[in-house]
Chains A and B, each alone.
Chain A
Amino acid sequence: MPPITLLEAIRQGIWEEMERDSSVFVLGEDVGIYGGAFKLTEGFIEKFGAERVIDTPISESAIVGAACGAAMMGMRPVAEMQFIDFISCCFDVLTNYAAKSRYRQGVGIPIVVRGPCGGGVHGGPFHSQNVEAFFLNTPGLKMVEPSTPYDAKGLIKAAIRDDDPVLFFEHKLLYRNPKIKQDVPEEDYIVPIGKAAIRREGRDITVVTYGAMVYTAMDAAERLEEEGIEMEVIDLRTLQPFDREAVIESVKKTSKVIILHEATRTGGMAGELTAVINEEAFEHLDGPVMRVTAIDTPVPYAPPLEEYFLPQVDDVLKAARSLARY
């Protein structure tokens, strides 16, 4: 098979799960006849029929509500948010119903709610957000964000097979990026939820990141190598529950750590990771845990504004150089 894009990897993952398991179905806005706004489910309705590829009204709450109910009855629904920004419309059913059901009433809700996230495409305040922090404070939800086609396919399969609700974030900048195309195995495989990947080894500074920022970190690591600084890049892949062990191990090795994410700063993943590192690896730190994140504003539209908003390679370099001095 030729190398595939991240979008194609997710498409294949869902397709194969639907072939494997008749309880898997997809629902969302324009996912059927149109094949999805990003064409991720193109061809699905022809193959699996309108009963398993459901075009819904513009009703995120009703979409996820129906997914929850179906999951309780033994189905494995995959609900699409046309843009992940719209997940805020179904906040109640996700946080109050899906997340709490197993704990409250002993009934698991194996749903996947997936959709395109992230900026860099001039989508403005409502088509560019990263929503993980909205849900990080809700025990019971899992969150996944792949950065490579291999991981995307393995993780979407793992998410569909998972017995808990999984929010699956797909960075739209990576969807069709030809530079990250990859060969994926022909045979069935999964990437386990909860395991990080070390994208690049290094002994001086750890960067913990995920999604499209993995590539920002990799670019920065290359530049720093020229300056004699070895940066280790950890791709979390799963944001909740995240791989504490991998993070702590790396911090113990490098003693310096930068958390890099595209979401805004206050109350974000970086704050939580920083707290965990302080609690579990304080003795190993040689400097402050540093955050490189978007600024605390909505995602702006105009290209110069959006570029200013998003973390850049230079921001990582700056943080790394200042940290290297400790």
Chain B
Amino acid sequence: MCKSLESGVWSRESDSRLQTPDSRLYMNKDQQLDLYYFMLLTRSLEDRLESLLKQGKIKGGLFCSLGQEATAVGSAYALDKNFGDILSPLTRDMGAMMVMGALPREVFASYLARAASPNRGRDQNIHITDLERGFIGTISPLGTLVGVMNGVVLAARMQGKKTVGMVYIGDGATSTGMFHEAANFAAVQNLPLVIIGESNAYAYSTPTSRQMRIENLADRAKAYGMPSEIVDGNDAIAVYESARRAVTRAREGGGPTFIEAKTFRMRGHAAHDNQSYVPKEVLDYWRSRDPIDNFRRHLIDDQIASSKEIEAVDAKVEARLDEDQQWAESQPAPEPEDALGDVYADAGAKGLTAESS
């Protein structure tokens, strides 16, 4: 058994399979500030959601991506909207959706269960889909969307497009049947799909060592004849670089890639979970590897941007969130009878079961 998985501590220095980034110097300033913006937007948005939860305004669960922002943002940033690229995030990949153009107001309205939310109060979380902007919401049985994303890129290929799909899966959900079926299907069909495996040490409370006997998630890819990479999931540029390689390969007909991003979930599974099963020293270790703090440090230390420029991004995030939160909180709840309809396309079948009484 891998020591790092047992302990929950993975170190970049000791991992021989790690892909190290080489584009740190080549990503231009605007791109790097973009990464910073989307990571910070994600974290600040989730901070606000947590406050809303404490105020009792969010009725359902709240799932945060704290600590995993770099994986979501860096990977999605490698996609190209000009080709109609499309992704399906997990609940901890809000940043990926933001990169594709999802708006904080949509997330606020969704969690607050407002009529104006993208799913009109009918679903929670960030289960939000917009095919035009290029994101497909997940569903709670994880693994399912890997199979669905196969079809998305299969269709695009049949339609003569060069679209690449990206789908996210946690270490836990790589144990599902659908994951194995879909990864194999993608490989057999040589589909233009990039699978981002988020190795965040725990699936709810169960450590990765109880999910699998292999050392790395990426080892799963061998079984499907699929190339894989391991990347520091807390380094947005490293993730971007790895994803860009995979996206290019997929677009050129090279088939699917599995990218394992080593990261850590700094909160419990959901807001109710105090994460008592995670040793304090593990949390401390990963706190020192915080993807946003470290990125900010990199921007300054490597003289990519000035403190003033970074502060301007911080202010932009806050202004955006102020406006969107205010908007969402002013929206009404749906009317009770909005529960009816849209079960079927044809009007005749609307509210099929409710009509019978």
A62 and B147 within 8 A (CB): yes
Let me know if B158 is at the binding interface, CB within 8 A: yes
A61 and B178 within 8 A (CB): yes
Instruction: Name the B residues within 8 Å of A164 (CB-CB).
Output: 344-346
B123 and A105 within 8 A (CB): yes
Instruction: Name the B residues within 8 Å of A120 (CB-CB).
Output: none
CA–CA, A69 and B159, complex, Å: 13
Let me know if B137 is at the binding interface, CB within 8 A: yes
Instruction: Name the A residues within 8 Å of B185 (CB-CB).
Output: 56-57, 59, 62-63, 65-66
With contacts A57-B188, A59-B184, A66-B147 known, is A108 near B345, CB below 8 A? Answer: yes
Let me know if A68 is at the binding interface, CB within 8 A: yes
CA–CA, A54 and B155, complex, Å: 12
Within 8 Å by CB of A139, from B140, B154, B159, B343, lies B343
Instruction: Name the A residues within 8 Å of B348 (CB-CB).
Output: 194
Within 8 Å by CB of A93, from B131, B148, B184, lies B148
Instruction: Name the B residues within 8 Å of A103 (CB-CB).
Output: 122, 342-343
Number of residues of chain A lying within 8 A (CB) of chain B? 46
In the complex, the chain B residue whose C-beta lies closest to that of A63 is B185
CA–CA, A92 and B182, complex, Å: 14
Let me know if A268 is at the binding interface, CB within 8 A: no
Instruction: Name the A residues within 8 Å of B144 (CB-CB).
Output: 61, 65, 92-93, 96-97
Instruction: Name the A residues within 8 Å of B151 (CB-CB).
Output: 65-73, 75, 77
Task: Kindly state the interface size class of chain B when it binds its partner.
Answer: 35 or more
With contacts A69-B155, A92-B141, A102-B343 known, is A61 near B148, CB below 8 A? Answer: no
Within 8 Å by CB of B178, from A93, A105, A139, lies A93
CA–CA, A160 and B148, complex, Å: 19
A186-197 to B contact mask, C-beta < 8 Å, 1/0: 000000001000
List 16 A-B pairs, Cβ < 8 Å: A56-B188, A59-B181, A59-B182, A62-B147, A65-B146, A65-B147, A65-B150, A66-B182, A68-B147, A70-B154, A70-B158, A72-B131, A97-B144, A139-B343, A164-B346, A241-B344
> B interface vs A, CB < 8 Å?
118-119, 122-123, 127-129, 131, 136-137, 139-141, 144, 146-156, 158-159, 177-178, 181-182, 184-185, 188-189, 342-346, 348-349, 352-353, 356-357
